[in-house]
Amino acid sequence: MDPVLEEVYSTVLSGAPYVIGAYALIWVVLMVFVIMMLNRSRKTQKDIDALRESIERRKERTSRPDDVPTEGRSED
Amino acid sequence: MANESANEREAGGGRRWSSGRWTTVAIVAVVLGCALTTLDFLWAFLRAPMVSGANLSDGQAAIINGTVVSTRLLFSQKIFYFHVPVAIVSFCFIIAAAVYAVMFLARRRESYDLRSRLCMLVGLVFIVATMISGDLWTRHDWGVWWVWEPRLTTYFILMLLVIAYFILRAAVEDPETQARFAAVFAIVAAIDAPISFFITRLVPSSIHPVVIRTDSGLPPDMLVPFLAGIFGMALVGFGFFRLRLTLEEQAMEVESLKRSYEELLD
């Protein structure tokens, strides 16, 4: 290669990893945030489902007053 | 808070429908933002022309595509196409947090406090991304990981202020006091955003270049990826903000369900 052109393009090979690294790391940071949001969403959704189920069960129980509550009943 | 009843209404069925619609909008915004930033990267990497760096040794010159080139061409400058958009979006979120904080102080609505906090959170994510990408650029072009020059210093202070904002929130237990203190702090922190943005103009000796100029005259091959980066990152940021808001609404639903369950137990 022409030595002048070699000097003109001398920063390309040394700079490319930094350019790719900067773009990749920006997305790593953003993805970490997304993963944190997804984990929290999954946990919150699980809590919502569990609470709804508990409320439904409780309502069913209170709507049938003759039923003997199972909570705290010892196994004979 | 003064608007408890309004919040309760907000937490009702109407909000749920709108929340679902916003989630769809947020996901579309993130996907579109990803597409635009990918276009930004590919265009910047493969098509955008390199800018001139130091003069060639012995005053030599080369002719490339009919143009006389007497300087080294800086490939690392291509970091500009995503580092600057991320930084601009971070500034926008910090300013938005301050605007919501002012609205909270004026109207005392919990939803404004929530939005202010989320703007700060998304702003912090973009600040960290800016710091990392900027560090790589600094390392390559200036040969050091960090230098205490005005832009970097004021931006570092901004990051510390945003972190301090969350420490302050965690330190105050009473929700109303916490929201009030946090709102004032968000406004104070946001003052640093324009200072950091304009510092390269205020301190001409700064080695950080003035990026946004009316006389920049960016050719289309540089302007297109830059604008794609700005709009892409803005869409990603907006999507994150809306998704996080949906999460907070889910958390409010958990609290509401817990209260309902406790009422049933009584």
Phi, psi of B148 (to 5 degrees): -85, 65
> CB B86 to CB A26 under 8 A?
yes
Please name the member of A9, A22, A41 whose beta carbon is closest to the beta carbon of B137. A22
Residue B205's pLDDT is 67
From CA B21, how far away is CA B246, in angstroms rounded?
10
- Greater confidence, A4 or B99? B99
| Measured distance CA(B136)–CA(B138) in Å, rounded | 5
The complex's ipTM works out to 0.84
Q: Phi and psi at residue B71, in whole multiples of 5°?
A: -130, 165
- Count other Cβ atoms within 10 Å, centred on residue B166: 15
CA dist B83 and A75 (Å) reads 66
- pLDDT of chain B, 266 residues: tens digit per residue: 544 444 444 444 445 556 778 889 999 999 999 999 999 999 999 988 888 887 887 777 778 777 778 888 888 889 999 999 999 999 999 999 999 999 999 999 999 999 999 999 999 999 999 999 999 999 998 899 999 999 999 999 999 999 999 999 999 999 999 999 999 999 999 999 999 999 988 887 667 776 666 666 678 889 899 999 999 999 999 999 999 999 998 898 999 999 988 888 87
Smallest Cβ distance to A30: which of B50, B137, B236? Answer: B236
Which domains does chain B carry?
4-265 (1.20.120)
| Alpha carbon separation from B197 to A8, B42, B53, B126, B209 (Å, rounded) | 32, 27, 24, 15, 11
Minimal-distance CA residue of chain A relative to B80: A19
Q: Give per-residue pLDDT as tens, B23-68.
A: 899 999 999 999 999 999 999 999 888 888 878 877 777 787 777 7
Write down the domain spans for chain A: 3-62
Please report residues of B whose CB lies closer than 8 A to that of A29: 125, 128-129, 132
Give which of A5, A14, A30 to mutate to test B binding, by max B Cβ within 10 Å.
A30
